[in-house]
């Protein structure tokens, strides 16, 4: 009788051991998964799931309206405010706040490089949500020409302002989600005015609208397209992290330092 009891205890404690071992294994898997997929991937919350590649139009015209191909930058007097005029903002309620965010935000975010396939998990890069923050960062080093980091948003039905933003619910004939036309003095490589149009506005989510505008503003400040497919300034916007990258900032810096190249290279 006593022997039987002992056997039962032994069997029970073996069972307990198995259960405990099983639990430890499960907890281990959960912790590993948590650290792999949650803890170390900094910036995952900034993901904007890409809903199809988006093309845009970017052209430069001289004063006679002829299309030209060159590198350009603004040549404002040091400290001058660059005015961005949103034409017809009241037609699309809520969009003005999104425009102000993309233009005026100083917010810098850290994103794990593995999420953009630019580096190892656990290493991060800084991105900017708004152009004011990116341009302020670019202005930290002295450049030959003034980088216009003082931005102001105005609302006027006239075409006043250095950069104009127009929104339309119509689709572009070329299938573009947005376009930027810069009027330039090619002899000076100087931008005189930049006109942005965002198409199909009422079909865009807030994040899609901001992504397209962020890209077009890159053109308006002088950037051409990026070689890296994962960059905000790639000809076809396809990244899930559509923010202003260090590559974009470096290209702005060199462009305003007189380097004759506006293509973003990483
Ligand atoms: Zn573009």
Distance from the alpha carbon of residue 90 to the mean position of ligand 1, in angstroms: 26
Mean pLDDT of 6-18: 72
List, as own/partner pairs, every contact residues 248-253 make where C-beta atoms lie below 8 angstroms and the sequence separation is at least 24, other chains included: 248/134, 248/218, 248/223, 249/128, 249/134, 249/137, 249/138, 251/223, 252/134, 252/135, 252/138, 252/147, 252/221, 252/222, 252/223, 253/138, 253/141, 253/143, 253/147
Please tell me the distance between residue 165's alpha carbon and the centre of ligand 1 in angstroms: 15
Task: Say if the ipTM goes beyond 0.95.
Answer: yes
pLDDT tens per residue across span 131-185: 999 999 999 999 999 999 999 999 999 999 999 999 999 999 888 999 999 999 9
Q: Identify the weakest region by mean pLDDT among 25-29, 32-36, 106-110.
A: 32-36
pLDDT at 8 over 70: no
Q: Please report which confidence band the pLDDT of residue 26 belongs to, taking 50, 70 and 90 as the band edges.
A: confident
Is the pLDDT reported for residue 128 higher than 90?
A: yes
How many angstroms separate the alpha carbon of residue 233 from the centre of ligand 1? 6
Task: Calculate what percentage of the chain has a pLDDT beyond 90.
Answer: 77
How confident is the model over 192-201, as a mean pLDDT? 97
Q: Is the CATH number 3.60.15.10 carried by domain 51-255?
A: no
Confidence of residue 4 (pLDDT cuts 50, 70, 90): low
Q: Which of 14-28, 95-109, 178-192 has the lowest mean pLDDT?
A: 14-28
**CA 32 to centroid of ligand 1, rounded, Å:** 41
Q: Given this model, what pLDDT does residue 30 score?
A: 74
Of 18-22, 145-149, 174-178, 207-211, give the lowest mean pLDDT range. Answer: 18-22
pLDDT of residue 39: 60
**pLDDT tens by residue, 38-65:** 566 899 999 988 767 788 999 999 999 9
Taking the centre of ligand 1 as the mean of its atom positions, its distance from the CA of residue 56, in whole angstroms, is: 5
Ligand 1 center from residue 71 Cα (angstroms): 14
């Amino acid at each position: 009788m006593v022997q039987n009891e002992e056997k039962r205890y032994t069997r029970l404690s073996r069972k307990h051991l198995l259960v405990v071992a099983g639990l430890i294994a499960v907890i281990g898997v959960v912790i590993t998964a948590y650290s792999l997929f949650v803890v170390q991937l900094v910036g995952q919350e900034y993901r904007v799931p890409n809903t199809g590649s988006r093309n845009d139009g970017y052209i430069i015209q001289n004063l006679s309206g002829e299309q030209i191909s060159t590198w350009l930058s603004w040549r404002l007097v040091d400290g001058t405010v660059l005015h961005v005029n949103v034409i017809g903002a009241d037609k699309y309620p809520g969009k003005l706040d999104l425009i102000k965010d993309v233009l005026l935000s100083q917010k810098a975010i850290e994103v794990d490089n593995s999420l953009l396939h630019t580096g190892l998990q656990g290493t991060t890069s800084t991105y900017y949500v708004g152009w004011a923050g990116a341009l302020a960062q670019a202005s930290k080093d002295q450049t030959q020409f003034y980088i216009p980091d003082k931005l102001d948003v105005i609302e006027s039905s006239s075409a006043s302002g250095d950069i104009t933003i127009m929104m339309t619910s119509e689709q572009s004939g070329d299938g573009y989600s947005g376009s930027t036309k810069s009027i330039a003095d090619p002899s000076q490589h100087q931008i005189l005015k930049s006109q942005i149009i965002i198409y199909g506005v009422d079909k865009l989510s807030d994040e899609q609208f901001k992504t397209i505008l962020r890209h077009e503003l890159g053109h308006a400040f002088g950037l051409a397209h990026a070689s890296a497919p994962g960059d905000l300034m790639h000809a076809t916007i396809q990244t899930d992290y559509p923010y202003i990258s260090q590559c974009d900032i470096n290209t702005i810096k060199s462009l305003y330092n007189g380097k004759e190249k506006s293509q973003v290279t990483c």
